[in-house]
């Protein structure tokens, strides 16, 4: 029994230490992100997310520290606090994971609705055009729904194909703004596909990665709770509290043909 308990204890310490390291990295990333976007005008939009990351990392570090100290010092009340706290956190993370799965289609619909409202792009605001141009360069696409036709006559130069383009290209129409100062008959190649498809795929990928991280974190938390809930480990903590170890042996009485339990000091068998 001693060997099993040592293995359980070491397993818990290993997993809990891994959780502490990951929580510390999350806290460091949150601090860096907060400092990086501190002067940004859009800090108000990402502030709720930063607050959730702060709370998650700090609460996890505190719970793991409590559990590790309780295991090393054999403080059962600290282990109980850890188990209760981690159980509540696991339930919360499970709810967030389920909500994330339900939100995936809605995110795509909101993205499509937002960019549909700025069509035609020639009438969009400068802020929207700048954002779309960045998307076109990063995703190697042109327009949002109908390709270059979304731009009308004034096709953006961000639609121009690069030499090592991954996505397909097509010749731009000669009655567009791209040929205003061009005197040759060579075609000007622009990206063929609209951006909305690639943007939706990237958004879904980001959501899937986030859900995977949440699920992995949930599994790590559950594993530590299950290790502490291991019956043999909890029994060993209880036995260590007594001044003398005792063992219960079931002996068969030949006279009465019944089972009886006899308590014997463990030092008699050492």
User: Which residue in the block uniquely carries the two structure tokens 């100290």?
Assistant: 69
pLDDT category at 70 given cuts 50, 70, 90 is confident
The enclosing H or E element of 258 equals strand 258-265
| Residue 39 phi, psi (nearest 5) | -90, 0
pLDDT category at 60 given cuts 50, 70, 90 is confident
From residue 235, alpha-carbon distances to 16, 87, 113, 242, 245 in Å are 21, 21, 59, 12, 12
pLDDT category at 128 given cuts 50, 70, 90 is confident
- Put simply, whether the predicted model's pTM sits higher than 0.85 gets the answer no
Average pLDDT, the chain: 75
Contact 196, 206 (CB under 8 A): no
From residue 216, alpha-carbon distances to 14, 93, 154 in Å are 16, 10, 48
The pLDDT tens digits for 212-241 are 888 888 888 887 777 766 644 444 444 444
Contact 8, 233 (CB under 8 A): yes
In the chain, the percentage of residues whose pLDDT exceeds 90 is: 0
Look at residue 45 in the predicted model and tell me its pLDDT.
63
Look at residue 35 in the predicted model and tell me its pLDDT.
78
| Token couple for 14 | 């290993």
| Residue 263 phi, psi (nearest 5) | -90, 125
pLDDT at 5 over 70: no
pLDDT category at 262 given cuts 50, 70, 90 is very low
Most confidently modeled range among 28-42, 81-95, 253-267: 81-95
What does the pLDDT average to over 26-39? 78
pLDDT at 140 over 80: yes
The pLDDT tens digits for 146-200 are 888 888 888 888 888 888 888 888 888 888 888 877 777 788 888 988 888 888 8
DSSP alpha helices (H): ranges in the chain? Answer: 2-36, 43-73, 76-116, 126-139, 195-228, 231-239
User: Which residue in the block uniquely carries the two structure tokens 């020639």?
Assistant: 122
pLDDT at 253 over 70: no
pLDDT at 270 over 60: no
Kindly report which listed range (36-45, 126-135, 242-251) carries the lowest average pLDDT score: 242-251
What does the pLDDT average to over 198-216? 85
Look at residue 255 in the predicted model and tell me its pLDDT.
39
What does the pLDDT average to over 16-32? 84
Kindly report which listed range (32-36, 111-115, 179-183, 254-258) carries the lowest average pLDDT score: 254-258
What does the pLDDT average to over 16-30? 84
Alpha-carbon span 192 to 166, nearest angstrom: 11
Can you name the residues that pair with 263 across neighbouring β-strands?
248
In the chain, the percentage of residues whose pLDDT exceeds 70 is: 78
Please confirm whether the linkage preceding 50 is cis (ω < 30° from 0). no
Alpha-carbon span 83 to 221, nearest angstrom: 10
Contact 251, 240 (CB under 8 A): no
Alpha-carbon span 30 to 51, nearest angstrom: 9
């Amino acid at each position: 029994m001693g060997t099993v308990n040592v293995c359980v204890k070491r397993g818990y310490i290993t997993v809990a230490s891994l959780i502490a390291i990951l929580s510390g990295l999350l806290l460091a990333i949150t601090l860096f992100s907060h400092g990086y976007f501190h002067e940004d005008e859009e800090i108000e939009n990402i502030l709720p997310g930063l607050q959730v990351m702060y709370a998650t990392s700090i609460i996890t570090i505190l719970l793991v520290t409590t559990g590790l100290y309780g295991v090393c010092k054999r403080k059962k009340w600290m282990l109980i606090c850890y188990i209760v706290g981690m159980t509540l956190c696991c339930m919360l993370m499970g709810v967030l994971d389920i909500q994330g799965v339900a939100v995936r289609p809605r995110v795509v619909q909101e993205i499509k609705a937002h960019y549909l409202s700025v069509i035609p792009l020639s009438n969009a605001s400068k802020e929207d055009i700048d954002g779309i141009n960045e998307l076109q360069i990063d995703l190697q696409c042109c327009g949002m729904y109908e390709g270059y036709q979304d731009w009308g006559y004034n096709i953006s130069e961000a639609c121009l194909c690069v030499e090592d383009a991954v996505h397909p290209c097509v010749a731009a129409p000669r009655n567009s703004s791209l040929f205003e100062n061009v005197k040759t008959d060579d075609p000007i190649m622009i990206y063929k596909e609209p951006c909305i498809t690639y943007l939706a795929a990237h958004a879904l990928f980001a959501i899937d990665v986030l859900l995977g991280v949440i699920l992995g974190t949930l599994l790590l938390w559950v594993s530590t709770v299950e290790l502490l809930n291991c019956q043999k480990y909890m029994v060993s903590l209880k036995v260590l509290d007594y001044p003398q170890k005792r063992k219960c042996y079931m002996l068969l009485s030949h006279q009465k043909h019944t089972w009886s339990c006899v308590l014997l000091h463990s030092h008699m068998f050492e």
